[in-house]
Amino acid sequence: MNEDIIVAIATSRLEAAISMIRVSGPDCIAFVQKFFTGKIIEKPSHTINYGYIIDDGKRIDEVLVNIYRGTRTFTGEEMVEINCHGGVYITSRVLEVCIKNGARMAERGEFSKRAFLNGRIDLSQAEAISDIITAKNSYATDLALKGISGSISGFIEDLKEDLIQIITQIEVNIDYPEYDDVEELTASSLLPRSANLLTKMNKILDDSKNIKLVKEGIKTVIIGRPNVGKSSLLNALLREDKAIVTNIAGTTRDIVEGSISIDGVVLNMIDTAGIRETDDIIESMGVEKSKELIHQADLVLLVIDGSQSLSSEDMQLLELTEDATRIIVLNKADQGTKVDLDGIVISAKDNQISTLTEEIKKMFELGKIIDNNDHILTNARQTMLLQRASQALKQAVEAMEMMIPTDLIVTDLYECWNNLKEILGEKAKEDLLDELFKRFCIGK
């Protein structure tokens, strides 16, 4: 595993003051020494060394070379970082020299993959590295930093410890009943610990349900009958004329999209066709699409013309969005307000929408999701595996409540264990046996 030397440009491939080329693999310090004039063979780890990159005896660039020995590196193997001048051409030339001397171009994510394979990070930490690169706001960044520091690893290890205590007790009772100092277990005696563990898992799943909003943004649909100012609101939020605004009903027939960040809260905005009865086939298709989006949205902005009395179409939309997470927006405040509803009064035409943006921030307090919860999963893969673990444990708990013998229950507990291990990218086949021998003096 990892027997070759890999290389890649680790900084942006644009003109800059400095570019950095990363090299990793066995004896890569000696490898770089072949085309670097500075003396690094005998230098200690984590030092910076001055010299030139050369090719066929010709100087290519003046560089600083960082060397990292042993396993206390990002990849868990010997590493070198070449800091050259940031021109596009010169960076490519230094990369060419590395490849010419025998290095292989790294695949996408291969440095992080090696860190995982070498045991420097677990799978949840590797995913967090990707998350911090793609973070769209400060909340997603904070979440990724927690993952990199091992927050997920920590609480998953705690769940595994609780579970292994239950499993090992069962196994000892099954395989070594002659041990006098081993407590004889029954399903009823295992139930409290198992039920408590199930509660912990479900609490983590519940706390993690809004993480998608933190990372990907809030899918926000603007709904209303024609000419209430939906497109004007979209343009005001995006601060650009993204949607066509006219006094002609049915102007917006298709979906218009855009994204906005409100103090770090990302809204993925969708302006929809005005919902009304129409004989126009194209407009009718847009209306049906608008209705579908209501059920897919994280937030519905129901726009009503506050300067007019409620119409029958407004009443239908109030009923249609009743079960959705919604904000009722009373638009056209510049023309007066005649509607008596509990909503946010704005004038999209005059860009007077601050009351709406404040309400959105209050409704989605993403910072509190991050700050108040240390036990949060960060992606769908982790959530799916914990759901499977929880389901397997739930089946075991139900079996215990039915007083089914413990040797029949342990299969579900094994399934729970395997899913917990998979969250961290660990193999789960033989480590249960290791735990048994570590915790009990069996067969000594």
Helices 406-423 and 151-175, packing angle to 10 deg: 160
pLDDT at residue 277, rounded to an integer = 53
pLDDT at residue 246, rounded to an integer = 36
Residue 390 backbone dihedrals phi, psi, to 5 degrees: -65, -40
Cα distance between residue 9 and residue 386, in whole Å: 36
* SS3 state at 24: strand
Q: Please determine whether the domains at 4-120 and 126-207+374-438 fall in the same fold group of CATH.
A: no
Cα distance between residue 322 and residue 333, in whole Å: 23
Cα distance between residue 211 and residue 156, in whole Å: 17
Pick from 25, 51, 27, 52: which is nearest to 41 by CA? 27
Interior angle at CA 40, CA 99 and CA 44, nearest 5 = 125
Q: Are 337 and 345 in contact (CB under 8 A)?
A: yes
444 is in an annotated binding site: yes
332 is in an annotated binding site: yes
378 is in an annotated binding site: no
228 is in an annotated binding site: yes
Topology of domain 217-368 in CATH is Rossmann fold (3.40.50)
pLDDT at residue 444, rounded to an integer = 37
251 is in an annotated binding site: yes
227 is in an annotated binding site: yes
In sequence order, what DSSP letters do the residues of 89-133 get, joined into one string?
A: HHHHHHHHHHHHTT-EEPPTTHHHHHHHHTTSS-HHHHHHHHHHH
97 is in an annotated binding site: no
210 is in an annotated binding site: no
Q: Which residues lie closer than 8 Å to 420 by C-beta, 6 or more apart?
A: 156, 159, 160, 163, 385, 386, 389
Q: Which residues lie closer than 8 Å to 44 by C-beta, 6 or more apart?
A: 69
Candidates 3.40.190.10, 3.30.56.10, 3.30.1360.120, 3.30.479.30; CATH matching 4-120: 3.30.1360.120
Pick from 189, 5, 226: which is nearest to 101 by CA? 5
280 is in an annotated binding site: no
428 is in an annotated binding site: no
248 is in an annotated binding site: yes
Which residue's structure tokens are 């006098």?
180
Pick from 197, 199, 189: which is nearest to 164 by CA? 197
- pLDDT tens, residue order, the chain (444 aa): 568 999 999 998 888 899 999 999 999 999 999 999 999 999 999 999 999 999 999 999 999 999 999 888 999 999 999 999 999 999 999 999 999 999 999 998 899 989 998 989 998 998 888 888 888 877 788 888 888 888 899 999 999 999 988 888 787 766 555 544 445 556 677 889 999 999 999 999 988 887 877 777 888 888 888 888 888 888 888 876 543 333 434 444 345 677 787 777 788 888 765 554 555 555 455 556 667 777 888 899 999 998 888 888 888 888 888 888 899 999 998 888 888 888 899 998 888 888 988 888 888 776 666 666 678 888 889 999 999 999 999 999 999 999 888 788 889 999 999 999 999 988 754 555 455 445 444 333
What spatial distance separates the first Cα and last Cα of the chain, rounded to whole Å?
35
Q: Which residues lie closer than 8 Å to 426 by C-beta, 6 or more apart?
A: 122
331 is in an annotated binding site: yes
249 is in an annotated binding site: yes
334 is in an annotated binding site: yes
374 is in an annotated binding site: no
In sequence order, what DSSP letters do the residues of 241-298 get, joined into one string?
A: --S---SSTT---S-EEEEEEETTEEEEEEE-PPP---S-HHHHHHHHHHHHHHHH-S
The string over 5-24, giving b where at least 16 C-beta atoms fall within 10 Å of a residue's C-beta and e elsewhere, is bbbbbeeeeeeeeebbbbbb
Order of strands across the sheet with 104-105?
Answer: 47-55, 58-68, 79-85, 18-24, 6-9, 104-105
229 is in an annotated binding site: yes
Q: Which residues lie closer than 8 Å to 228 by C-beta, 6 or more apart?
A: 274, 303, 304, 305, 331, 332
261 is in an annotated binding site: no
246 is in an annotated binding site: yes
pLDDT at residue 176, rounded to an integer = 53
- Domains of the chain, residue spans: 4-120, 126-207+374-438, 217-368
Q: What is the pTM of this model?
A: 0.71
120 is in an annotated binding site: yes
Topology of domain 126-207+374-438 in CATH is Four Helix Bundle (Hemerythrin (Met), subunit A) (1.20.120)
